[in-house]
Amino acid sequence: SAVISQKPSRDICQRGTSLTIQCQVDSQVTMMFWYRQQPGQSLTLIATANQGSEATYESGFVIDKFPISRPNLTFSTLTVSNLSPEDSSIYLCSGGQGVGAPLHFGNGTRLTVT
Amino acid sequence: TQLLEQSPQFLSIQEGENLTVYCNSSSVFSSLQWYRQEPGEGPVLLVTVVTGGEVKKLKRLTFQFGDARKDSSLHITAAQPGDTGLYLCAGEGTTDSWGKLQFGAGTQVVVTP
Protein backbone atom coordinates (compact mmCIF):
# COMPACT_ATOMS: atom_id res chain seq x y z
CA SER A 1 0.00 0.00 0.00
CA ALA A 2 1.09 3.57 -0.68
CA VAL A 3 2.49 5.74 2.09
CA ILE A 4 1.71 9.43 1.67
CA SER A 5 3.82 12.10 3.36
CA GLN A 6 2.82 15.73 3.62
CA LYS A 7 4.92 18.75 4.47
CA PRO A 8 4.51 20.84 6.51
CA SER A 9 2.43 19.03 9.10
CA ARG A 10 1.23 22.37 10.44
CA ASP A 11 1.80 26.07 9.89
CA ILE A 12 0.59 29.41 11.11
CA CYS A 13 0.37 32.03 8.38
CA GLN A 14 -0.61 35.65 8.22
CA ARG A 15 -3.60 36.92 6.31
CA GLY A 16 -2.78 37.71 2.68
CA THR A 17 0.16 35.34 2.37
CA SER A 18 0.23 31.92 0.69
CA LEU A 19 1.15 28.42 1.82
CA THR A 20 2.36 25.61 -0.40
CA ILE A 21 1.82 22.06 0.81
CA GLN A 22 3.88 19.20 -0.58
CA CYS A 23 2.62 15.66 -0.98
CA GLN A 24 5.03 12.79 -1.65
CA VAL A 25 3.92 9.20 -2.31
CA ASP A 26 6.37 6.34 -1.81
CA SER A 27 5.20 4.64 -5.01
CA GLN A 28 3.63 5.67 -8.29
CA VAL A 29 -0.11 6.21 -8.07
CA THR A 30 -2.57 6.77 -10.88
CA MET A 31 -4.80 9.24 -9.10
CA MET A 32 -4.11 11.98 -6.57
CA PHE A 33 -6.60 14.26 -4.84
CA TRP A 34 -6.66 17.13 -2.39
CA TYR A 35 -9.30 17.36 0.34
CA ARG A 36 -10.09 19.95 3.00
CA GLN A 37 -11.34 19.18 6.49
CA GLN A 38 -12.64 22.30 8.21
CA PRO A 39 -12.89 22.43 12.01
CA GLY A 40 -15.73 20.23 13.20
CA GLN A 41 -16.68 19.29 9.66
CA SER A 42 -16.05 16.41 7.34
CA LEU A 43 -13.81 16.11 4.32
CA THR A 44 -14.58 18.03 1.13
CA LEU A 45 -12.88 17.32 -2.17
CA ILE A 46 -11.00 20.33 -3.54
CA ALA A 47 -9.63 18.93 -6.78
CA THR A 48 -8.12 16.04 -8.69
CA ALA A 49 -4.41 16.55 -9.34
CA ASN A 50 -3.74 15.51 -12.93
CA GLN A 51 -0.24 14.57 -13.96
CA GLY A 52 1.22 17.00 -16.44
CA SER A 53 -1.98 19.00 -16.90
CA GLU A 54 -4.26 21.38 -15.07
CA ALA A 55 -6.08 20.08 -12.03
CA THR A 56 -9.82 19.40 -12.13
CA TYR A 57 -11.59 21.49 -9.50
CA GLU A 58 -14.83 20.75 -7.68
CA SER A 59 -17.64 23.25 -7.46
CA GLY A 60 -16.71 26.12 -5.15
CA PHE A 61 -12.96 25.79 -5.64
CA VAL A 62 -10.95 27.74 -8.22
CA ILE A 63 -7.45 27.55 -9.58
CA ASP A 64 -6.52 31.10 -8.61
CA LYS A 65 -7.15 30.34 -4.96
CA PHE A 66 -5.92 26.72 -4.92
CA PRO A 67 -3.27 26.22 -7.61
CA ILE A 68 -2.17 22.59 -7.84
CA SER A 69 0.78 20.99 -9.53
CA ARG A 70 1.50 17.34 -10.26
CA PRO A 71 4.72 16.97 -12.22
CA ASN A 72 4.92 13.18 -11.91
CA LEU A 73 3.15 10.10 -10.50
CA THR A 74 4.52 10.46 -6.97
CA PHE A 75 4.40 14.17 -6.15
CA SER A 76 1.89 17.00 -5.95
CA THR A 77 1.64 20.44 -4.39
CA LEU A 78 -1.33 22.48 -3.27
CA THR A 79 -0.98 26.21 -2.72
CA VAL A 80 -3.58 28.09 -0.72
CA SER A 81 -3.32 31.71 -1.90
CA ASN A 82 -4.25 35.06 -0.42
CA LEU A 83 -4.99 33.49 2.94
CA SER A 84 -7.87 34.56 5.13
CA PRO A 85 -8.95 33.17 8.52
CA GLU A 86 -11.66 31.17 6.72
CA ASP A 87 -8.89 29.10 5.11
CA SER A 88 -7.89 27.73 8.51
CA SER A 89 -8.37 24.02 8.04
CA ILE A 90 -6.67 20.68 7.61
CA TYR A 91 -5.62 19.96 4.03
CA LEU A 92 -5.25 16.30 3.09
CA CYS A 93 -3.53 14.71 0.13
CA SER A 94 -4.78 11.34 -1.06
CA GLY A 95 -3.95 8.89 -3.79
CA GLY A 96 -4.32 5.40 -5.17
CA GLN A 97 -4.43 3.20 -8.22
CA GLY A 98 -8.07 3.52 -9.13
CA VAL A 99 -11.12 1.25 -9.19
CA GLY A 100 -10.77 -1.71 -6.84
CA ALA A 101 -7.80 -0.22 -5.00
CA PRO A 102 -7.85 1.58 -1.65
CA LEU A 103 -7.58 5.36 -1.38
CA HIS A 104 -4.74 6.35 0.93
CA PHE A 105 -4.49 9.63 2.82
CA GLY A 106 -1.62 11.62 4.17
CA ASN A 107 -1.71 12.85 7.76
CA GLY A 108 -2.77 16.30 6.68
CA THR A 109 -1.45 19.82 7.03
CA ARG A 110 -3.08 21.89 9.75
CA LEU A 111 -3.19 25.51 8.60
CA THR A 112 -4.03 28.37 10.94
CA VAL A 113 -4.42 31.85 9.46
CA THR A 114 -4.06 34.80 11.79
CA THR B 1 -24.35 16.77 -4.41
CA GLN B 2 -25.16 13.46 -2.79
CA LEU B 3 -25.46 14.06 0.96
CA LEU B 4 -24.51 11.43 3.50
CA GLU B 5 -25.93 11.75 6.99
CA GLN B 6 -24.23 9.95 9.84
CA SER B 7 -25.75 9.22 13.20
CA PRO B 8 -25.10 9.58 15.99
CA GLN B 9 -22.58 12.42 15.92
CA PHE B 10 -21.02 11.27 19.18
CA LEU B 11 -21.02 7.97 21.03
CA SER B 12 -19.45 7.27 24.41
CA ILE B 13 -19.56 3.71 25.68
CA GLN B 14 -17.86 1.41 28.15
CA GLU B 15 -15.41 -1.27 27.10
CA GLY B 16 -17.25 -4.47 26.21
CA GLU B 17 -20.43 -2.80 25.00
CA ASN B 18 -21.70 -2.92 21.43
CA LEU B 19 -22.32 0.07 19.17
CA THR B 20 -23.81 0.84 15.78
CA VAL B 21 -23.15 3.82 13.53
CA TYR B 22 -25.50 4.65 10.69
CA CYS B 23 -24.90 6.32 7.35
CA ASN B 24 -27.91 7.34 5.27
CA SER B 25 -28.58 9.07 1.99
CA SER B 26 -31.40 9.67 -0.44
CA SER B 27 -29.00 8.95 -3.29
CA VAL B 28 -27.66 5.69 -4.67
CA PHE B 29 -23.93 5.09 -4.45
CA SER B 30 -21.86 2.73 -6.58
CA SER B 31 -19.83 1.94 -3.47
CA LEU B 32 -19.56 3.05 0.11
CA GLN B 33 -16.46 3.13 2.26
CA TRP B 34 -15.85 3.36 5.98
CA TYR B 35 -12.78 5.09 7.39
CA ARG B 36 -11.41 5.65 10.89
CA GLN B 37 -9.48 8.80 11.65
CA GLU B 38 -7.42 9.48 14.74
CA PRO B 39 -6.24 12.93 15.88
CA GLY B 40 -3.38 14.27 13.79
CA GLU B 41 -3.70 11.54 11.19
CA GLY B 42 -5.47 11.04 7.91
CA PRO B 43 -8.45 8.71 7.49
CA VAL B 44 -7.60 5.02 7.17
CA LEU B 45 -9.80 2.81 5.03
CA LEU B 46 -11.58 0.04 6.94
CA VAL B 47 -13.79 -1.47 4.27
CA THR B 48 -15.46 -0.90 0.90
CA VAL B 49 -18.92 -2.29 0.17
CA VAL B 50 -20.20 -2.38 -3.39
CA THR B 51 -23.15 -4.76 -3.61
CA GLY B 52 -26.62 -4.00 -2.25
CA GLY B 53 -27.26 -6.15 0.84
CA GLU B 54 -23.58 -6.94 1.23
CA VAL B 55 -22.27 -7.71 4.71
CA LYS B 56 -18.56 -7.64 5.49
CA LYS B 57 -16.87 -8.56 8.74
CA LEU B 58 -13.52 -7.34 9.93
CA LYS B 59 -12.81 -9.02 13.27
CA ARG B 60 -15.28 -7.33 15.68
CA LEU B 61 -16.53 -4.87 13.06
CA THR B 62 -19.50 -5.69 10.83
CA PHE B 63 -20.38 -3.50 7.87
CA GLN B 64 -23.64 -3.65 5.96
CA PHE B 65 -24.67 -1.99 2.70
CA GLY B 66 -28.39 -1.44 2.23
CA ASP B 67 -30.26 -3.31 -0.48
CA ALA B 68 -30.88 -0.08 -2.38
CA ARG B 69 -27.27 1.06 -1.93
CA LYS B 70 -28.38 4.24 -0.20
CA ASP B 71 -27.40 3.45 3.37
CA SER B 72 -24.88 1.56 5.44
CA SER B 73 -24.14 0.65 9.02
CA LEU B 74 -21.09 -0.18 11.08
CA HIS B 75 -21.52 -2.40 14.12
CA ILE B 76 -18.76 -2.96 16.66
CA THR B 77 -19.08 -5.89 19.04
CA ALA B 78 -17.43 -5.80 22.45
CA ALA B 79 -15.80 -2.43 21.88
CA GLN B 80 -12.28 -1.83 23.14
CA PRO B 81 -10.47 1.44 23.96
CA GLY B 82 -8.48 0.96 20.75
CA ASP B 83 -11.71 1.41 18.79
CA THR B 84 -11.81 5.06 19.86
CA GLY B 85 -11.75 7.38 16.87
CA LEU B 86 -13.72 9.33 14.30
CA TYR B 87 -15.62 6.99 12.00
CA LEU B 88 -16.42 8.37 8.56
CA CYS B 89 -18.58 6.94 5.83
CA ALA B 90 -17.91 8.03 2.27
CA GLY B 91 -19.84 7.35 -0.90
CA GLU B 92 -18.71 7.07 -4.48
CA GLY B 93 -21.32 8.23 -6.99
CA THR B 94 -20.22 6.25 -10.01
CA THR B 95 -17.34 3.98 -10.91
CA ASP B 96 -15.98 6.88 -12.99
CA SER B 97 -15.61 8.93 -9.82
CA TRP B 98 -13.11 6.72 -8.01
CA GLY B 99 -11.42 8.74 -5.28
CA LYS B 100 -13.94 11.56 -5.53
CA LEU B 101 -15.75 10.78 -2.33
CA GLN B 102 -18.69 12.39 -0.59
CA PHE B 103 -18.02 12.11 3.13
CA GLY B 104 -20.45 12.05 6.00
CA ALA B 105 -19.83 14.36 8.96
CA GLY B 106 -18.43 11.54 11.05
CA THR B 107 -19.22 9.81 14.33
CA GLN B 108 -16.84 10.36 17.21
CA VAL B 109 -16.62 7.13 19.20
CA VAL B 110 -15.07 7.07 22.66
CA VAL B 111 -14.59 3.74 24.41
CA THR B 112 -13.61 4.01 28.06
CA PRO B 113 -11.95 1.18 30.01
Q: Which of A31, A44, A104 sits opposite B98 (nearest CB)?
A: A31
Residue B1, pLDDT score: 58
The CA distance from A49 to the nearest CA of chain B, in Å, is 11
Which chain B residues touch A if contact means CB-CB below 8 Å? 33, 40-45, 48, 88, 90, 95, 98-101, 103-106
B2-21 tens-digit pLDDT: 689 999 999 999 999 999 99
Q: Hey, are the CB atoms on A43 and B41 less than 8 Å from each other?
A: no
A17-54 tens-digit pLDDT: 999 999 999 999 999 999 999 887 889 999 999 998 89
Given a cut of 70, whether residue B113 has pLDDT beyond it is yes
Those of residues 60-79 in A touching chain B at CB distance below 8 A are none
Calculate mean pLDDT across residues A72-78: 97
Residue A103 · residue B101 · CB < 8 Å: yes
Residue A41, pLDDT score: 80
- Distance from the Cα of residue B102 to its chain's centroid: 12
Residue A76 · residue A52 · CB < 8 Å: no
**Got the DSSP string for B42-62?**
--EEEEEE-STT-EEEETTEE
Q: How far apart are CA A88 and CA A31, in angstroms?
A: 26
Q: What are the chain A neighbours of B42 within 8 Å (beta carbons)?
A: 4, 92, 94, 104-108
- Cα nearest neighbour of A104 on chain B: B44
Q: Which of B33, B101, B105 sits opposite A41 (nearest CB)?
A: B105
Neighbours of A58 (CB within 10 A): 15
Residue A30, pLDDT score: 92
Is A34 an interface residue toward B (CB < 8 Å)? no
Neighbours of B56 (CB within 10 A): 16
Calculate mean pLDDT across residues B25-33: 92
| Cis peptide, bond prior to residue B113, ω within 30 of zero | no
Q: How far apart are CA B14 and CA B86, in angstroms?
A: 16
Backbone angles phi, psi at A106, to 5 degrees: -75, 175
Given a cut of 80, whether residue B95 has pLDDT beyond it is no
- Cα nearest neighbour of B46 on chain A: A102
- Cα nearest neighbour of A48 on chain B: B100
